[in-house]
Amino acid sequence: MLTTNHEITSFIKTLYPDSKRISLHEPKFIGNEKKYVLDAIDSTFVSSIGPYVDKFEEMIKDYTGAKFAVSVVNGTSALYVSLLLAGVERDDLVLTQAFSFVATANSIYYTGAEPVFIDIDKFTLGMSPDSLETFLKTNIKIINKQAIHISSGRRISACVPMHSFGIPCGIDKIVEICNSFHIPVVEDSAESLGSTYYSKHTGTFGLLGVYSFNGNKTVTSGGGGIIVTDNKKLGNLAKHLTTQAKIPHPWEYRHDMLGFNFRCPNLNAALACAQLEQLEDFIKIKREISSKYFQFFKNKEINFITEPKNARSNYWLNSIILKSISERDSFLKYSNENNVMTRPAWTLMSDLAMYKSCINDGLINSVDIQNRLVNLPSGVN
Ligand SMILES: Cc1ncc(COP(=O)(O)O)c(C=O)c1O
């Protein structure tokens, strides 16, 4: 390798000169976090209702432009409920990518449906619109406005593309293709809050979108998630389903559906509100870090992943693609041993025991990228 492990690791250390051990991403609390959390404690509203829950949802609506936002306990439950709202039922098939965090496939499996893994685009690292279209054209027939998988006879009831590491995937094309096959899109935007495509926020292209506020994300609520949609009926149903499906009444406890206790506690929402106030500042810093990486890797033989044209990435995690698995492993070993945390991509979902037997389209790019990608430290500290 022309650029040595030492050179890259040393460069990363110049980006984080004050850190003894540089982490991949850690939260930063320099705004109103303590004030709002203490305020929530003083108010005694620490659980599922309270002004910060409402404020959190309002802030997300204002920021993303979504008409409805419903806060929940984490991104995984947000995905699961969104799939139910999109109409996914037991024994259905749901299209997604094998190159993702396990929660994407798990949330599909919780519904009783099975994931079908579509390949990714090697530039955006998100679902490839071309692979999606090829799979659908080859394997699907439309019966009564439903996409039926020809060889299994099963219904394809949703598509879950993911914006990997914050880089917007070709979401406009994916939605267009899915629309033509009557397949609703649930956008897994867990990693891409603040990323836009043609100035529109990721998460707002599909029927429903989901953000995560886990501690490793650009902004955090400790643990939390949000469902967004422009569909009034689904927005209201999302609130109802995630709050035990209780019929509003001052004292009676009556529930009209099988609901879930997925509501976001006011305490977590307080933290989220303070963090959201700083989101644009964090993204600015993250984009500066990314631009420094870009300058460093520009004339080297290493591929540094950048946002596509007409997109803005939040650059949640920066990524490089090395030449081979052995180069990847050698760099992972060297950097981690030298106090710079780096990590490989997730094991493909299609290689996990639970999902080995699921249908996939060959996953050529997914396998190749999974073998060679390394995430670099990207925190704002
Ligand atoms: C792509 C993706 N989907 C879903 C999730 C699940 O979010 P959470 O951890 O908030 O449940 C995460 C992250 O954690 C993620 O990265």
**pLDDT for 133-154, tens place per residue?**
999 999 999 999 999 999 999 9
DSSP per residue over 149-174, as a string?
A: ETTT--EEEEEE-B-GGG---SHHHH
On the question of pLDDT at 167 being above 80, the answer is yes
Report the C-alpha gap between 252 and 229 in whole angstroms. Answer: 30
**pLDDT for 38-97, tens place per residue?**
999 999 999 988 999 999 999 999 999 999 999 999 999 999 999 999 999 999 999 999
Distance 141 CA to ligand 1 centre (A): 32
Residue 119 in contact with ligand 1 by CB distance below 6 A: no
Average pLDDT over all residues of the chain: 97
Of 371, 43, 77, residue with least CA distance to 212: 77
Atom of ligand 1 nearest to the CA of 107: 4
Residue 212 in contact with ligand 1 by CB distance below 6 A: yes
Q: What is the CATH number assigned to the segment(s) 5-27+279-347+372-376?
A: 3.90.1150.10
Distance 24 CA to ligand 1 centre (A): 16
Which pLDDT value is given to residue 71?
98
Distance 101 CA to ligand 1 centre (A): 7
Which pLDDT value is given to residue 2?
63
Average pLDDT over residues 202-213: 98
% of the chain beyond a pLDDT of 70: 99
Answer yes or no: are the C-beta atoms of 138 and 164 closer than 8 Å.
Answer: no
pLDDT class of 268 with cuts at 50, 70, 90: very high
Distance 103 CA to ligand 1 centre (A): 6
Residue 290 in contact with ligand 1 by CB distance below 6 A: no
Average pLDDT over residues 337-364: 98
On the question of pLDDT at 205 being above 60, the answer is yes
Which pLDDT value is given to residue 48?
82
Average pLDDT over residues 279-296: 98
Q: Could you tell me the residue ranges of all domains in the chain?
A: 5-27+279-347+372-376, 33-277
Q: What is the DSSP letter of 345?
A: P
Substitution site in 24, 74, 76 for ligand 1 pocket (most atoms within 8 Å of beta carbon): 76
Average pLDDT over residues 351-378: 98
**pLDDT for 181-194, tens place per residue?**
999 999 999 999 99
Distance 254 CA to ligand 1 centre (A): 32
Residue 190 in contact with ligand 1 by CB distance below 6 A: yes
From residue 236, alpha-carbon distances to 85, 118, 227, 233 in Å are 11, 31, 11, 5
Q: What is the DSSP letter of 264?
A: P
| CB contact set of 170 (below 8 Å; sequence gap of 6+) | 121, 124, 126, 127, 128, 129, 308
Substitution site in 74, 101, 208 for ligand 1 pocket (most atoms within 8 Å of beta carbon): 101
pTM: 0.97
Residue 222 in contact with ligand 1 by CB distance below 6 A: no
Fold category of 33-277 in CATH: Aspartate Aminotransferase; domain 2 (3.40.640)
Distance 121 CA to ligand 1 centre (A): 20
Take atom 10 of ligand 1 and give the residue whose Cα is closest: 75
Residue 188 in contact with ligand 1 by CB distance below 6 A: yes
> Looking up tokens 């009209």, which residue turns up?
256
From residue 17, alpha-carbon distances to 28, 178, 289, 293 in Å are 16, 46, 13, 15
% of the chain beyond a pLDDT of 90: 97
Distance 354 CA to ligand 1 centre (A): 18
Beta bridge partners of 20: none
